[in-house]
Chains A and B, each alone.
Chain A
Amino acid sequence: MAAFVVLLIALTLSGGLYAAFAPAEKAQADDTAQSLAIEEGKKLYSVGCASCHGTGGEGSHNGPSLVGVGAAAVDFQVGTGRMPAATSQGPQVPRKKNIYSQTQIDQIAGYIASLGAGPTVPTANDYSPDGADIAKGGELFRTNCAQCHNFTGKGGALTHGKFAPSLEGVAPKHIYEAMQTGPQNMPSFPDTTLSQQNKKDIIAYVNAVNGDQTVSPGGLELGGLGPVSEGLFAWIFGLGALIVVAVWVAARTAKAKKS
């Protein structure tokens, strides 16, 4: 009975407060859902993010300010498991298993977006490889991405242990968001630099040369890393096999007949 009374009072109170403070004209169902999402997002933020990024997203010496990074940045960082980062980080926060549901990520993203305007999460239409020019994407990739991510997005080294990660198995949405927001050491490519269509083309190219459906016409890809792995393979399996064959041939010599 007591619990019922408390609940009744709480409901009346919150309802009254809402009636008092809600903007009269714009109080539509959509906004309610959004503000509730922001509320939920703030809670998740307080648990998972606030220790480094500050209770209001203002940042601390452990993490940058999140005001104005936008929903796309949150969706990328949390969606790829990079955030929340572990405490003892190496030179760079690596991709790892994502522990949040998409709904939760959207809620955190909603909260961060409410702190200041920033890039929004792209829709499926923005990044789907359908209708994109793969070859154009290849040209753009080689011009803008290959110097860190390698010809086909196998990844590469940066200074002091940092690295450009492999793009294998990265969702098209996340590639799009990474280009838009420029996570960690990556420069950002806003729509003024790489248009939406350009991003789409690049995603289609990465999908074509480094996706699940990619075939390697020449046989084993050897990591797609170029001459270093090829040289290793030539020494170990090429010359190695030939030396084994030579030892075998030399051991099987014609013996002089014993008379």
Chain B
Amino acid sequence: MSTTTTNESGTRGRAPAGERVADWADGRLGIYSLAKSNMRKIFPDHWSFMLGEVCLYSFIIIILTGVYLTLFFHPSMNEVVYHGSYVPLQGQLMSEAFNSTVHISFDVRGGLLIRQIHHWAALIFLAGMFVHMMRVFFTGAFRKPREINWLFGFLLFVLGMFTGFTGYSLPDDLLSGTGVRFMEGAILSVPIVGTYLSFFLFGGQFPGGDFVARFYSIHILLLPGIMLGLVVGHLILVFYHKHTQFAGPGKTNNNVVGMPLLPVYMAKAGGFFFLVFGVIAAIAAIATINPIWAMGPYRPDQVSTGAQPDWYMGFSEGLIRVMPGWEINFWGHTLVLGVFIPLVIFPLVLVTIAVYPFIEAWVTGDRREHHILDRPRNAPTRTAFGAAWISWYFVLLIGGGNDLWATHFHLSINAITWFVRVAFFVVPVLVFIATKRICLGLQRRDHDKVLHGRESGIIKRLPHGEFIEVHEPLSQEQLHTLTAHEQYEPAEIGPTVDENGVERKVKGSERLRAKLSNAYYGENNQIPKPTVEEYKEITSGHGHH
């Protein structure tokens, strides 16, 4: 190669620097084919497809700022006397963990800002994952082949919750210490093994001298390590499956319409990273988060009102706060149902949404791949289920903040607690019904729009005096978009008698599936979309009306 290059140097010159670098790298890493197949990878454009990016970037920001914090944080519970620059804590006994966190906040250059970026980014990371997950849910993006990626995302959300929990417990302040005590109480409520588990986790009696060091390893090593692996897997699967897209002209189940990764998406994503970093940094510069100096060091004999966890753990706080304090004494052993039942419901709330895709796949019996997204209205039962789940989650959040609702809206905390107890069972049902009705209403509107066109707002008076509104027919593109979704037929129980006249036993699961399928796709559970014949008959005959 080099000889030919020298020979032809008179006419073509040396290859440009970029090409030489690429050639050098390809010779050692073999990245040419990788780059060739991926540089032109197409991504569709929609703002909601960038929610995942918000999560990814805030995760990166958390890792970067977290590394800075580890340089100054001492994960130790040895007692020291405070002699730093924050006067209201002078001379107080505290753990080294708390001492070093106050030190980071007041005496390390940029320490408080980095701490606040780290914490705000964590709240936004979790909020971003929640919204991203809901986007995937309501558009049906979890369907085959993306079920595993849905589970990856779900695991990231749950691990994010616990990484956050172990993280905000590290400073060993009075607020987070109360949270750790809360967790200890929940562990203790487990029948038979509870006390053993608690002693194992805390290395003896709560709080002991170990848990900060242990949480530290979990927070900076174990959980983020697993999360990083899951994030990589999540992204590889996004690449492998290709991104989903909304229905539209030219978009099929077999293509992706959008912009190439290089240069358009790379530039956009790179720019978006800095926008995300900028917004989070601005928020961290504007507003305090977790002012541990105001809360003071943790001591098991102290507690403050308004002791809540960060928002993503708020629903578990709600579960405990609204649960009646039931207790059973069984042969000298106390079973604290008031804490144990919430502990059991806590994972159930999360698992309910995680397993939904598999339930839907079973009900529809659909084993095909889906790359075109649903509009939420076109899957009324799924949308209603998701809305009901969100309402359930938010009812519990209200329960978790019942004291602040009481003081800020001048209500009785007891009344709020009773409201949440009832709403826990009632609100999801009401939301389910209401959402389903709204979806069907929107389907009817789409049906009308396709057949009769868009309302133009122009009122026409006919010669005999009648007033009519002129409807404008939709464009071909709009008609396609509104009718692109497919509609399932409700599954039926197959013939109960085979060709030989032998009666077959119908399994319970079969009956259940037929029933559910009917609830999804039966009469009145979806509005049949207009057929071509209907459309032709209306548009060809007597004009628009």
Residues of A at the B interface (CB closer than 8 Å) are 90-91, 133-139, 142-143, 146-152, 154-161, 163-164, 205, 208-209, 216-222, 224-235, 237-239, 241-243, 245-247, 249-251, 253-254
Contact = CB atoms under 8 A, between A and B. Distances in A.
Contacts of A139: 92, 296
24 contacts: A90-B410, A142-B299, A146-B303, A150-B304, A152-B294, A156-B403, A157-B402, A205-B88, A217-B291, A218-B289, A222-B288, A227-B308, A227-B309, A228-B314, A238-B120, A238-B283, A239-B54, A242-B276, A243-B47, A245-B276, A246-B47, A246-B50, A246-B54, A250-B45
A150 B294 CA distance: 10
A156 B120 CA distance: 25
Contacts of B310: 227, 230-231
A161 B123 contact: no
A225 B87 contact: no
B89 interface: yes
A234 B311 contact: yes
Nearest to B179: A227
A156 B306 contact: yes
Contacts of A228: 306, 308, 311, 314, 400-401, 404
A149 B307 CA distance: 12
A157 B279 contact: no
Nearest to A230: B289
A151 B297 CA distance: 11
Contact of A253 (B90, B105, B259): B259
A164 B305 contact: yes
Contacts of A253: 45, 259, 264, 268
A135 B279 contact: no
B303 A155 contact: no
Tell me which of A90, A134, A233, A247 has the highest count of chain B C-beta atoms within 10 A of its own C-beta: A233
A221 B288 contact: yes
Contact of B106 (A217, A219, A221): A217
A29 to B, nearest CB: 46
Nearest to A229: B404
Interface stretch (B146-154, B411-419, B487-495): B411-419
Contacts of A249: 47, 50, 268, 271-272, 275
B175 interface: yes
A161 B412 contact: yes
Interface stretch (B29-37, B72-80, B124-132): B124-132
Nearest to B259: A254
**What 8 A-B pairs are tightest by C-beta distance, nearest first?**
A231-B311, A156-B305, A218-B288, A234-B123, A157-B403, A250-B47, A161-B412, A146-B304
Contacts of A152: 294
B46 interface: yes
Contact of B88 (A208, A225, A234, A246): A208
B27 to A, nearest CB: 33
Given A151-B295, A161-B411, A235 B305 contact: no
A225 B412 contact: no
B130 to A, nearest CB: 9
B502 interface: no
B410 A156 contact: no
Nearest to A133: B91
Nearest to B263: A254
B182 to A, nearest CB: 13
Contacts of A216: 288, 291
Contacts of A224: 291, 294
A237 B286 CA distance: 11
A143 B50 contact: no
A229 B314 CA distance: 12
A142 B293 CA distance: 12
Q: Which one of B90, B91, B288, B304 has the greatest number of beta carbons of chain A within 10 Å?
A: B304
Nearest to B282: A241
Contacts of A142: 174, 296, 299, 302, 304
B273 to A, nearest CB: 11
A219 B305 CA distance: 23
A44 to B, nearest CB: 31
B307 to A, nearest CB: 7
B270 to A, nearest CB: 11
B412 A151 contact: no
A231 B314 contact: yes
B226 interface: no
Contacts of B299: 142
B390 to A, nearest CB: 13
Interface in B23-44: none
Contacts of A234: 120, 123-124, 127, 283, 311
Contacts of B412: 91, 159-161
B268 A226 contact: no
B287 A157 contact: no
A225 B306 contact: yes
Contact of A250 (B50, B284, B305, B306): B50
B373 to A, nearest CB: 15
B220 interface: no
Contacts of B49: 250
Q: Which of A234, A245, A247 has the most CB of B within 10 A?
A: A234
A51 B404 CA distance: 35
Contact of A230 (B280, B290, B410): B290
Interface in B219-266: 259, 264
Given A208-B88, A228-B306, 18 more contacts: A133-B91, A146-B174, A150-B306, A152-B294, A157-B404, A159-B412, A161-B415, A164-B305, A216-B291, A218-B288, A219-B285, A226-B306, A227-B309, A235-B127, A235-B311, A237-B287, A242-B54, A243-B51
A219 B406 CA distance: 26
